[in-house]
Amino acid sequence: MMVIRPIQKNDFAELVKIADESGHGFTSLPNNEELLASKITRSEASFKKTVDCPQDEGYLFVLENTETGEVLGTSAIEAAVGLDDAFYHYHLSKVIHSSRTLNVYNPVEILTLCNDYTGATELCTLFLREKARKNGNGKLLSKVRFMFIKEHEDRFADTLLAEMRGVSDENGKSPFWKWLEEHFFSMDFPTADYLTGIGQKVFIAELMPKYPIYVNLLSKEAQAVVGEVHEKTKPAIQLLKNEGFTFNGYVDIFDAGPTVEAKLNNIRTVRSSSHKKVIIGDNPGGQNIMIANTELENFRATLAALSFDENCDDIIISAKIAEALQVSEGDIVRIATV
């Protein structure tokens, strides 16, 4: 059975493998063992922490095959970004250059460096290993975060965002960064991406252009990828759009990948989720639903084919599912359709 749970120290070796497989452009999971160990420590502390408003907590989840013990993916939530380190974006907007005398009217796109998402909750570190990309595992790994956030609303902001990986090739070369590198930096994209991932962001403020960048002055290759996603990221952004996330012109400062956002209670999974009381027994099966306990430190969630009545307060689950979710008869669970 596939189960989502908080990461633990003994998952370290598996997390290192996932970081290695994730490749270039996956800023939140750099291939650095010291940093990965600190991410696990921070996550464990966050789950244990008493919180009444979002601060610097980071919650890291893993997808585990309970039959083999193998960790097959990760996803994470940053409670509030930009409170300790500046959280940068470029905002894509337009300025008008016009002259009535000359009868000229030219709308021009510009990129302006900003920190507009400071304090928002970020969905991040979503990666599913190749062999597990089936049977709804990706949807579970992504969407279960909405159920967790709804269950523990005081720990998170009302605005949720997700930075999507921008366009780069198999060697980690980004057309957008190539232009920035030529004019403002002296390091390649993987290096800049890695430094950001390990928390060394001061070079951004020191070297990034302070004034708006006219998009039409970028190289043609760089212009073409502004707001576009990496080929492997297309399913992820489509999933978020289906949930109600929108692109409002914010792009990553390194690869120009889009950032999408939504208000918590406008998200489809959140709106459709509900609490049910557990009855342990035989369920004839039905549609695939996500089902999660209401715990914090001992959070568990899975995907199962279950029959249930939306108008009934109860749901019947098998003893195997109850064991996986660490719930007993009469406990409350949260469910949502996939």
Q: Where would I find the H helices in 208-317?
A: 220-225, 234-243, 268-272
pLDDT at 194: 67
Tell me how far apart the alpha carbons of residues 25 and 191 are, in angstroms, rounded to a whole number: 10
Give the closest residue to 95 by CA, choosing from 112, 82, 118: 112
Last residue of a domain, one of 210, 235, 269: 269
pLDDT at 184: 84
Same domain for 79 and 6: yes
pLDDT at 3: 98
CA distances 238 to 73, 135, 211, 244, 337, Å, are: 19, 17, 32, 10, 17
Specify the pTM.
0.92
Residue 23 lies in a domain: yes
* CATH number (domain holding residue 235): 3.40.630.30
Please tell me the total count of domains within the chain. 2
pLDDT at 183: 86
Residue with tokens 């990034």: 208
Burial of 239 (0-12, 13-18, 19+ CB in 10 A): middle
Active-site entry in 24, 183, 230, 275? 230
Same domain for 226 and 201: yes
pLDDT at 141: 96
pLDDT at 200: 65
pLDDT at 193: 67
Tell me how far apart the alpha carbons of residues 6 and 184 are, in angstroms, rounded to a whole number: 40
pLDDT at 20: 87
Give the closest residue to 192 by CA, choosing from 24, 17, 16: 24
Active site residue 230: yes
> What is the block-wise mean pLDDT of the chain (338 residues), using blocks of 10 residues?
97 93 71 90 97 96 96 97 90 94 94 96 94 94 97 97 92 87 78 67 72 94 96 92 98 94 98 97 94 98 95 96 98 96
pLDDT at 209: 83
- The domain of 249 spans 2-89+114-269
pLDDT at 188: 74
Tell me how far apart the alpha carbons of residues 124 and 162 are, in angstroms, rounded to a whole number: 6
Residue 107 lies in a domain: no
Residue 96 lies in a domain: no
